[in-house]
Chain A
Amino acid sequence: MVWQTIKRWYHMLGSPRYFYTFSSLVLPWLTPIALVTLLTGLVWGLGFAPSDYQQGNSYRIIFIHVPASSGALMGYMALGVAGLVAVVWRMKMAEVMLKAIAPFGAALAAISLVTGALWGKPTWGTYWQWDARMTSMLILLFMYVGVIALQNVIRDPRQAARAAGLLAMVGVINVIIVKYSVEWVQTLHQGSTLKLFGESTINPAMKYPLLISMLGLWLLYAVNVLMRARTEVMWRERRSKWVAKLVTRPEKGER
């Protein structure tokens, strides 16, 4: 039963046209929800959460650092799945997603590194050290850039998707390294205080704004992916009748 639902979804969303209509319906709702959620979390975290007893107020960087880092990691996992589907089953929508997921993920990886450095200076006394977590995060940024670059360099979109898909799959190993780097080698970066399963060791007054900004940034990532995927779908399907009709005579509510 569940399997069949998944299968139906796979086939429906696998159709570029169906995806386009579906995302037209979702975006007008998802965009404002994402923005409001993110801003709520950030304002709460920056202005209302208590200051840290050791770090004072510099810890408030956490409300963007952790959401961006987790977003970059999750985005890369999604990129790896899209890569697998694109390489093995050559599904069109997976190729589209491979292109749509990468740019915002790269931006989030960059944000993670920059905010981490700016947090490290007042806390550890250094902007950067070749610590396992930081180095693997830098590699994550390079993997994103590599996937984007491969797609831009190879002319034929289907071949580009195969190459980028392979690179995306290989890079998943690095995501696992990032995740466990703080447990395997303890150098500078602290371990996670926020746990999906089990007891978090972060103060609840800091946990809730963090969770809310995390959710908000992830939703905004979804908005960005949907927007980019729509552009890509439109370009790839440019010779089809439904795109031609959409471009010249967009019906009301259909954009």
Chain B
Amino acid sequence: MAFESFADFLAMGKHGFYVWSAYGISAFLIIASMVLALRGQGQVRQTLARQQRRAELDAEVNDESRT
């Protein structure tokens, strides 16, 4: 460990503000990009599943009206 105590670690000399805001903003941007990628995946999957259900329902209705 390069620091005497946890308080020392947080203080980062006199540069705690710079170091921790740099890491905070980086973490936010990285996590946001990962979450957006995941959410996009879920959304496409849901949209396609919904479209498909509708298509199957339509097919059934058409079958019934024909008989």
Which B33-50 residues have a C-beta within 8 angstroms of A?
33-34, 36-38, 40-41, 44-45, 48-49
How long is the Cα–Cα vector from A121 to B29 in the complex, in angstroms?
21
Q: Are A68 and B26 in contact (CB under 8 A)?
A: yes
Tell me whether B22 and A118 are in contact (CB under 8 A): yes
Check A4 for interface membership: any CB of B closer than 8 A: no
CB of A121 within 8 A of CB of B18, answer: yes
Residues of chain A having any CB pair with chain B under 8 Å: 42, 46-51, 56-58, 60-61, 64-65, 68, 103-104, 107, 110-111, 114-115, 118-119, 121-122, 220, 223-224, 227-228, 230-231, 234-235, 238, 243-244, 247-248
B residues with a Cβ closer than 8 A to A are 1-3, 9, 12-15, 18-19, 21-23, 25-26, 29-30, 32-34, 36-38, 40-41, 44-45, 48-49, 51-52
Min CB gap A231→B, angstroms: 5
Per the bound structure, the CA–CA distance linking A144 and B2 in Å amounts to: 38
Chain B binding surface, main DSSP class: helix
List, in ascending order, chain A residues with CB within 8 A of B51's CB. Answer: 238
Whether A56 contacts B13 by the Cβ 8 Å rule is yes
Q: Which residues from chain B contact A46 at a C-beta distance below 8 Å?
A: 9, 19, 23
- In the assembled complex, how far is the CB of residue A101 from the closest CB belonging to chain B, in whole angstroms? 12
Excluding A58-B19, A224-B33, 11 further A-B contacts by CB distance (< 8 Å) are: A56-B13, A58-B15, A111-B26, A114-B25, A114-B26, A115-B22, A121-B18, A228-B40, A231-B37, A231-B44, A247-B49
- Contact in complex: B29, A227 (CB < 8 Å): no
